[in-house]
Amino acid sequence: MISVQNLTKRYGAYTAVDDVSFNVRPGAVTGFLGPNGAGKSTCMRMMCSLTPPTSGTATVLDRPYSSLPNPGRHVGVLLDASAQHAGRTGREILTLGAMVMGIDRSRVDEMLDLVGLSESEATRRVRNYSLGMRQRLGIAHALLGDPQVLILDEPANGLDPAGIRWMRGLLRGYADEGGTVLLSSHLLHEVEVVADELVVIGRGRIVAQGTKAELMAATGTTVRTTDDAAFAGLLEGAGLEVKAASTGLTVQAEPQQIGELAARHQVVLIELRTAGSAGLEDMFLELTADDAREEVAA
């Protein structure tokens, strides 16, 4: 389990992380989402005792990371896949990790096989690795000590679609066996498929958190008709909150309520469903709009 309580980090007058609190439970994948620069990496560095907090606490398995004996046996960490020693081979990096943690070197072969690095790739210098290969090596190193907890910062960067799908399956299986996973990303869809719970951060503050089901339910219902403008007026007249979506309308009501209203007024429905992924993405973009670096082209 990971517990973050009132975590704050200031650099002079700039507040990178502002009073952040959340828990990551065993047996679940928690997606830690936010735009670039929102404070995700700073939070994770504080969890791993690499950056001292200005105030607040972060514990892993009920104690600060720095006080864990042989931490690699308890917590697997991948914060920057490019930070590996460029002059060593992948096998050498994992072998050194096994020696430091005091684990059998046969585990190195197991991890290389698990992440799909061939023998020829394992004996190649890391400077000659692609970013995707470095990510696979980093995940192998994080899993080397058979930890109970994984803390992964943007682990899908550089992976191709097949690699991303592989990573999701790996993390899903790890959590299903009781492991604790915190997975950060600035891309919602990257973690939405695998995450059980979501924590959304913007400008260093938590802007939303909960189970994926709870957050998706809060996004409302998508409806399309033969005349969306007219139906929006009927919905608003019934006291419902209505927003125009990329296609159709998003309504803060249950599909049954909307369907019954349409039937009473003989409105032809083309589509009626919970907003789901599209609604969750709209919510994410709206909550983090002030912190996004990219602007929509006019």
**pLDDT band for position 289 (50/70/90)?**
low
Please indicate, yes or no, whether residues 8 and 150 belong to a single structural domain of this protein: yes
The yes-or-no verdict on residue 15 having pLDDT over 80 is yes
* Cβ–Cβ < 8 Å for 165, 171: no
> Is residue 171 located within the same domain as residue 230?
no
206 strand-pairing partners: 201
pLDDT exceeds 50 at position 50: yes
Distance from chain centroid for Cα 264: 43
Cβ burial, residue 210 (10 Å; 0-12/13-18/19+):
middle
107 inside domain: yes
The range of the structural domain enclosing residue 165 comes to 2-210
Give per-residue pLDDT as tens, 220-250: 888 999 999 999 999 999 999 998 877 788 8
Are 157 and 255 within one domain? no
Distance, in Å, from the CA atom of 54 to the CA atom of 187, rounded to the nearest integer, reads 28
CA atoms 155, 160, 281, 14: torsion sign: positive
Q: Are strands 205-211 and 75-78 parallel, antiparallel or unpaired?
A: unpaired
Classify each residue of 8-24 as buried b or exposed e, where b means 16 or more C-beta atoms within 10 Å of its C-beta. Answer: bbeeeeebbbbebebeb
Residues with Cβ within 8 Å of residue 252, at least 6 apart in sequence: 220, 221, 240, 241, 242
Average per-residue pLDDT for the chain = 89
Count other Cβ atoms within 10 Å, centred on residue 266.
Answer: 6
Q: How much is the pTM?
A: 0.81
Q: How many CB atoms lie within 10 A of CB 298?
A: 3
With a cut of 50, say whether residue 294 has pLDDT above it: no
Q: From 75, 66, 217, select the one nearest 141 (Cα to Cα).
A: 75
Model confidence at 252, pLDDT cuts 50, 70, 90, reads confident
Q: How many domains does the chain have?
A: 2
Instruction: Say if residue 273's pLDDT is above 70.
Output: yes
Instruction: Please check whether residue 230 lies inside any domain of the structure.
Output: yes
Same domain (yes/no): 132, 17: yes
Residue 289 lies in a domain: no
